[in-house]
Structure 1
Amino acid sequence: MSTFNPFKNGIPITVTEAMIEKIIRMKSYGQDIKVEITPKHIVLSGTTEVKKMMFKKNVAFRITLKPVSVEKRTILFELVEMEPIDRNFINQRIFNRPPFFEFEKRTIKMNVNAWSIVRKIPVGTIKSYELVEGALKMKLTL
């Protein structure tokens, strides 16, 4: 007799554009961020406050990220494009959000374990992930 296990292929978890926006807005000062998820990329756009000497100025930006690999419960994204200027300090301001995001060189690490929706599942690693219109869908192994 076989038993039906709906999670045989892993536990499905969805992270939406709004969830990512909320995390980036936490602790962000003067940032207006919009997240767009397409089947190929995650695109962040908005403005961030830049201080140069005694002046403050809002700079518009657009960042394109592409998922490249998975390590346990972390998804690594490659910074594909940054407009209008590619500056590390802007990337640092947007993605320096431990424990959710870490920025190092041209890679953004998204620790999905920091999301309460994933933390509720104490075991397993990311088995698969895909970008769909409006969301990042993944499956955790059991």
Structure 2
Amino acid sequence: MSTFDLTTFFGKGIPIMLTAAMLEKIIKMQAQEHDIKVEITPGDIRIRGTIEVKKMMFKKKVSFRIIIRPVHVEKRTITFELTEMKPIDKNFINQKLFNRPPFFEYENRMIKMNLNAWSIVKKIPIGTIRSFEMVDGGMKMNLSL
């Protein structure tokens, strides 16, 4: 009788890919905004769009462009640093976009992305992020067993 070794089958972990389209869908759903585009490059994530801002009794659409870069990976959480916000860098816009539990938490220009909230990762109840790489169009990860 032979045994089945999961490490032989999965190599160094279970591969997971989060695409720009998946990230865009979550931001649109959570922020209730529909004019948002996400681009993932090997160095950063670029998010652009418009967001509605209310001031007193007036509403105004404000265009924005955000660049975030990964700085830390721990267990099943990836922390990104907000490195650029144009044309205006206002904390309330960042809060509105990224303070979206359970997917994202925003504090002091840092965005924590909890992978346990993503359905693609929920299916794998064990393991932590063993490796993480940003490529054109997505984030490649391996979850350890």
Pick the TM interval, shorter chain: over 0.9
Which segments of structure 1 move beyond 6 Å, counting only runs of 4 or more? none
Written as runs of structure 1 = structure 2, the 5 A alignment for 1:2-17 is 5-17=8-20
1:55 aligns with 58
Q: Could you tell me which residue of structure 1 aligns to residue 101 of structure 2?
A: 98
C-alpha distance in 1, partners of 2:100/2:139? 18
Q: Which amino acid aligns with 1:125?
A: T
- For residues 79-94 of structure 1, the aligned pairs below 5 Å read 79-94=82-97
Report which of the two has the higher share of helix. 2
Q: Give the alignment's TM-score, normalised by structure 1.
A: 0.94
- Deviation string for 1:84-133 (max 9, x for gaps)? 11111000110121101110111000001111111111110001111100
* SS class of match (1:6): helix
Aligned-partner Cα distance in 2 for 1:137–1:123: 18
Deviation (angstroms), 1:52? 1.2
TM-score of the two chains, using structure 2 as the length reference: 0.92
Gaps of 5+ in 1: none
Flag structure 2 segments of 5+ consecutive residues without an equivalent: none
Secondary structure of 1:122 counterpart: coil
Count the aligned residue pairs: 142
